[in-house]
Structure 1
Amino acid sequence: MIEHERRGGAGRRWLVAALAAVLVLAVGGGAWAFSRISGGGTQPEEVLPANAVAYFRVDLDPSVQQKAAIFNVVRKFPDARKRVGEGDDLRKALFEAIKKDDPKLRDVDYAKDVEPWLGDRAGVAVLPGADGKETETVAAVQIKDEDKARVGIKKLSGGDDKSGYAFVDDYMLMADSQSRADALASSVKDNPLSSNETFKGDVGEVDEGVMSFWADLPKLSRLSGDRTAQLPTMSAQGRLVGGLSFTSDSVQLVAKTRGAKLPSLQGTGIKLGELPSTTVAALSVSGAGPALEKNWPDLRRTLEASGRAAQLDSFVQAAQSQFGIRIPADLNTLLGKEFTVAMDERGMERLTAQGSAGQDGSQQLPLVGFRSTTDVAKARQLLPKIDQLLGATGAGVQLEKATGSDQVALATSQAYADELVKGGDLGRDDTFTKAVEGADKAQFGAFVDLNKLEKLYLPSMPAKDQANLKVLKAVGMSGSTAADGGTFTLRVLVD
């Protein structure tokens, strides 16, 4: 059955606020949530148009285990704990959280005005606009009772909305106008997003559940017009699809790109685990040197398309003529088969104004270093040229150096450079192993120990924010590239 009902902008705003609140609660609690717990019944993509260029889905009735994990993480944060209260109904928790900040919802009672009709799922699709240059947003909200939904939306909106609503199956479609909502309701069942073969193939690569997202980046970029005109071409390639999941002490985002031509990294196994256990932050990439040299022509063409090739050419010529640094060949040597950039907890206080100078007035630098697995003989010839380049910048920083059989390190102290080459036991640290997924097989990765970093940033934060920030323990990321795209995993740990 297809029917429609006019309701107010406040009702539409309430839906947007509800979806946003899911993100606010999850991000405020460390990240977003996602799990393979897709139940039966119609999904939002079955009542949204097939020509969507982006899609976001939320399901607020996950498995018992996933729901417990969500609440466990969220309630670790004092502010979120106050908002969600007790109980295990995600829909009620989100509504009550929104109600506290929206005086227009003061007289709305969840049990009476919302719960009787609101379903568990909702989806938002971004569509090409009528002019083919802009975008429009359409939402689909699952309902349990059509008549009660009409009454409930009227109560939520205060009766002053000019948007349009139409009912299809057990969903309410929401558009900017009633005519648009009616048109969508009449056509969408014959051509839903779920029938889009590209969409189906992409979402099949990830789990579906509490939250999922998908976007066709080239189409979205073209429709966005000037807003993405300055972005490199490669940033709008292929499609992006992802999902999120909770454990009792972490949140994980897994995202994949498909149909994108990315620089192919060589080799696997980043070496973050070989850093000292006192590492506070680090980034590692495998095969960056060879990949950069191989893909240099493509990179230049990308910059040329955006009108920036001349700046690159000028820098390359200056590096060659003034310092004898050949680009990209010498960058290949510097980055090598694998490179890692790291900062240590020791000496971190030197990043503050109070700790930036020694007793003799000399500049005291934090322990920051760079290490690469490379051709050491070539690297030794390159290092003096890098010293000259740094000197010419006027930075006033002298990097100490250390080499091993196949590694070279640059650091702000000789002892730290030596330590980077020697290697450490970060890989045995429980926080690191939980945060960085499959480091031994990844092609790129990053790690930030937020507990170690707290003493640097917490004192400067407002007192009301410190309790929430203290809950965050660490962030880890890892991933790899493939012929048609890449995959990355982001984890946030909480105490």
Structure 2
Amino acid sequence: MTEQRPDGYLSPQSPPESATAAPGQIEQGPQKKTGTGVKAAIAGLAVLALGGGLAIADPLDMRKDNASAKGAAAVLPADVLGFSEVNFNPELSQKAEMVRFAMKFPGLKSKINLTEDGDLKQELWQSMSKDSTCLKGVNYDADIKSWLGDRMGVAVRPGAKTPVIAIEATDEAKARAGYEKLNACDKGNDKLTGLAYSDGYLVAAKTQADADKAIADAKAGALKDRAEFKEDFEKLGTQGILSLWGSKEGLVEISKQSSVDDELASKSPASADVQKQIEETPLRSAAATLRFSDGNPEFLLMAKSTKDISAEGTTAVGNLPGDTAVAIGIADGANQLDKNWDQVKKSIEDQGTQVSDIESRLKLKLPDDLKTLLGKDLRTSVGKFDPDAVQGPADLPIAIAMDTEKAKVEDIVTRTGLGAQGLQVSGEDTAPVVGISTDWANQVSQPSSKLSDDAAFKAAVASPDKAQSVVYFNLDAFKDAITKNMSSSEMENVEPLQAVGVSSRIEADNYSAVQMRVTAK
């Protein structure tokens, strides 16, 4: 069954199939080449925002830098549906951290000659152009470096199927000439041939009329002055190498303006499902950024809800055993399910499954049994194990700690027949632990060390003691199983990876946020 998330609440999910593929990535039909990744980037933001979300760590000890005040948003119109901006020259600390992280991976190190004090734009150019016969004819120093600034923004306007691009440029004449050389290498059908110049930016659009109109409309009202945009980026705080923004209305229209073939799009259940989810969510707008903190990349999303949202308590996932390899914590689950049961029930039945059938088949009482299991805080712990050594369920170190009534949990386990299959309930009257492995259940009940003290956990999960939900996966704990069938070159690029963590919580002013980190040794 498919469960729709309660308004403003994010149940922990497996780390993105990105920020790194985007969380909740939707599989779609074949796409036509557009010459930019703007639609993919904004689609990723849309899917993230759909989840609601619950949180961000305390502000990082880094310089606050609201790029919207001086970036490409200053020369793009306020009516854009979605916006993304790349900063090729982030503050020194972030640039250094980015380079150090990238150089931990041999495959990346061999392809990109990144250095902490080098010209990131030039290094990326060399990597991008070395396999292109056409681009080899472009001289970086004369044709690119002489005018290229540090920022590039991409936006989609209402009714347009191609983006508008704003490239920071220090010299208009050289920028036009350099852009034309680059554009000559694009053999696609969606080339941006219209060029205009405004306030230090070269603006490219599908036609000259589109470029001129974008400039004129921005002078009448720029995106940087749009109220929702300003508020979202203020909440976002420090921005990194990539920033994203979109309004709900914009995301709905972008999903309808998909670049896939119209006939295929009309027959695509995934496309229709995305549109429906966006339309039904109480999202107003959202902003996101990819930045570096303590040597590791993190993706932060802040989404503004149109409804009042709140959550009670935080998850005590950090109290799980210190050698927990996979952890999931959900606080306030029973309360959230109670407030949103009608919405969840509708979502289930929209998929063709009746709740009454689930109750009959599984011998459950809904939503009461689910509320009992979720309780005030539900924490799942999986210890490290060798998949090849598992002979049966009892060998799996998996247990669930709950803040709920033990007697009710025992009744559910007995009634559903799970007890007859080996599932045991132990622990205190108001703090039961459910599991098949008695040894691991005992460790979860009385851990000799805590996950909150583990170095990998602390690096991957932002302020878990303040989060309503947490997902943690220690990649290092399963490195042997992950790399078992890999080649030596593949293994050396997986070896540096350490852990992935996602934490979330509700912020003030009806903002929900999600922070994801990927760490490497």
- Larger RCO, structure (CA 8 Å, separation 6 or more): 2
1:288 Cα deviation (Å)? 0.6
CA distance in structure 2 between the aligned counterparts of 1:475 and 1:421, rounded to whole angstroms: 25
Which 10-residue stretch deviates more, 398-407 or 270-279? 398-407
Q: Residues 38 and 209 of structure 1 are in contact (CA less than 8 Å); yes or no, is this contact kept in structure 2? A: no
1:398 Cα deviation (Å)? 3.0
Structure 2 counterparts to residues 101-112 of structure 1, below 5 A: 101-112=131-142
Aligned to 1:474: 499
Aligned to 1:439: 464
Letter in 2 for 1:331: L
1:55 Cα deviation (Å)? 0.9
Aligned to 1:266: 312
Find the residue that maps to 1:121 and give its secondary structure: strand
**Judging changes above 3 Å, is the alpha-carbon distance between structure 1 residues 420 and 363 closer, same or farther for their aligned structure 2 residues?**
closer
The alignment status of 1:244 with 2:244, answered yes or no, reads: no
Aligned to 1:315: 357
1:428 Cα deviation (Å)? 1.4
Unpaired segments of 5 or more residues in structure 2? Answer: 1-33, 45-61, 257-265
Find the residue that maps to 2:517 and give its secondary structure: strand
CA distance in structure 2 between the aligned counterparts of 1:99 and 1:266, rounded to whole angstroms: 52
1:481 Cα deviation (Å)? 2.4
**Judging changes above 3 Å, is the alpha-carbon distance between structure 1 residues 164 and 467 closer, same or farther for their aligned structure 2 residues?**
same
**Judging changes above 3 Å, is the alpha-carbon distance between structure 1 residues 191 and 459 closer, same or farther for their aligned structure 2 residues?**
same
CA distance in structure 2 between the aligned counterparts of 1:437 and 1:467, rounded to whole angstroms: 27
Q: Residues 164 and 177 of structure 1 are in contact (CA less than 8 Å); yes or no, is this contact kept in structure 2? A: yes
1:382 Cα deviation (Å)? 2.0
Letter in 1 for 2:379: T
1:175 Cα deviation (Å)? 1.3
Which 10-residue stretch deviates more, 100-109 or 271-280? 100-109
Q: Once the two structures are aligned, what percentage of the paired residues are identical?
A: 25
**Judging changes above 3 Å, is the alpha-carbon distance between structure 1 residues 426 and 39 closer, same or farther for their aligned structure 2 residues?**
closer
CA distance in structure 1 between the aligned counterparts of 2:68 and 2:434, rounded to whole angstroms: 56
Q: Residues 263 and 291 of structure 1 are in contact (CA less than 8 Å); yes or no, is this contact kept in structure 2? A: no
The alignment status of 1:185 with 2:215, answered yes or no, reads: yes
TM-score, normalised via structure 2 length: 0.78
Query: Which digits, 9 at most, give the CA deviation of each residue in 1:84-108, with x for residues without a partner?
Result: 3154211112211211343321222
Matched length:
444
Aligned to 2:422: 398
Q: Residues 59 and 121 of structure 1 are in contact (CA less than 8 Å); yes or no, is this contact kept in structure 2? A: yes
CA distance in structure 2 between the aligned counterparts of 1:447 and 1:16, rounded to whole angstroms: 29
**Judging changes above 3 Å, is the alpha-carbon distance between structure 1 residues 148 and 202 closer, same or farther for their aligned structure 2 residues?**
same
CA distance in structure 2 between the aligned counterparts of 1:40 and 1:363, rounded to whole angstroms: 53
Aligned to 1:290: 335
1:284 Cα deviation (Å)? 0.4
Which 10-residue stretch deviates more, 43-52 or 473-482? 473-482
1:42 Cα deviation (Å)? 4.1
Q: Which has the larger radius of gyration?
A: 1
Q: Residues 73 and 222 of structure 2 are in contact (CA less than 8 Å); yes or no, is this contact kept in structure 1? A: yes
Aligned to 2:398: 368
1:262 Cα deviation (Å)? 8.0
1:114 Cα deviation (Å)? 0.9
The alignment status of 1:62 with 2:105, answered yes or no, reads: no
1:364 Cα deviation (Å)? 6.5
CA distance in structure 1 between the aligned counterparts of 2:309 and 2:294, rounded to whole angstroms: 36
1:257 Cα deviation (Å)? 0.9
Q: 2:382 aligns with which of 343, 346, 353?
A: 343
The alignment status of 1:229 with 2:278, answered yes or no, reads: no
CA distance in structure 2 between the aligned counterparts of 1:407 and 1:127, rounded to whole angstroms: 53
The alignment status of 1:211 with 2:237, answered yes or no, reads: no
1:413 Cα deviation (Å)? 1.1
Aligned to 1:157: 183
Aligned to 2:59: none
1:39 Cα deviation (Å)? 7.4
Letter in 2 for 1:278: D
Letter in 1 for 2:353: Q
Find the residue that maps to 1:445 and give its secondary structure: strand
**Judging changes above 3 Å, is the alpha-carbon distance between structure 1 residues 200 and 39 closer, same or farther for their aligned structure 2 residues?**
closer
Q: 1:72 aligns with which of 70, 84, 100?
A: 100
Query: Which digits, 9 at most, give the CA deviation of each residue in 1:415-441, with x for residues without a partner?
Result: 112222223422211221222121112
Aligned to 1:220: 251
Aligned to 1:144: 170
Unpaired segments of 5 or more residues in structure 1? Answer: 1-11, 24-33, 392-396
CA distance in structure 2 between the aligned counterparts of 1:219 and 1:440, rounded to whole angstroms: 35
The alignment status of 1:275 with 2:312, answered yes or no, reads: no
CA distance in structure 1 between the aligned counterparts of 2:500 and 2:199, rounded to whole angstroms: 42
Q: 2:367 aligns with which of 312, 328, 331?
A: 328
1:182 Cα deviation (Å)? 2.3
Q: 2:121 aligns with which of 91, 104, 111?
A: 91
Query: Which digits, 9 at most, give the CA deviation of each residue in 1:160-210, with x for residues without a partner?
Result: 756222212211111122221222223321121112111111111112343
Q: Residues 98 and 295 of structure 2 are in contact (CA less than 8 Å); yes or no, is this contact kept in structure 1? A: no
Q: Residues 45 and 192 of structure 1 are in contact (CA less than 8 Å); yes or no, is this contact kept in structure 2? A: yes
Query: Which digits, 9 at most, give the CA deviation of each residue in 1:363-405, with x for residues without a partner?
Result: 76432222211112222222212335x97xxxxx532332224
Find the residue that maps to 2:178 and give its secondary structure: helix
Query: Which digits, 9 at most, give the CA deviation of each residue in 1:219-262, with x for residues without a partner?
Result: 31244136542144555723221223213531222211102548
**Judging changes above 3 Å, is the alpha-carbon distance between structure 1 residues 172 and 487 closer, same or farther for their aligned structure 2 residues?**
same
CA distance in structure 2 between the aligned counterparts of 1:61 and 1:438, rounded to whole angstroms: 28
CA distance in structure 2 between the aligned counterparts of 1:212 and 1:238, rounded to whole angstroms: 18
Q: Residues 80 and 250 of structure 2 are in contact (CA less than 8 Å); yes or no, is this contact kept in structure 1? A: no
**Judging changes above 3 Å, is the alpha-carbon distance between structure 1 residues 451 and 35 closer, same or farther for their aligned structure 2 residues?**
farther
Which 10-residue stretch deviates more, 275-284 or 243-252? 243-252
Letter in 1 for 2:444: L
Aligned to 2:228: 198
Find the residue that maps to 1:62 and give its secondary structure: coil
**Judging changes above 3 Å, is the alpha-carbon distance between structure 1 residues 370 and 86 closer, same or farther for their aligned structure 2 residues?**
closer
1:444 Cα deviation (Å)? 0.5
Aligned to 2:28: none
1:65 Cα deviation (Å)? 2.0
Q: Residues 316 and 326 of structure 1 are in contact (CA less than 8 Å); yes or no, is this contact kept in structure 2? A: no
1:336 Cα deviation (Å)? 0.9
1:112 Cα deviation (Å)? 2.2
1:36 Cα deviation (Å)? 3.7
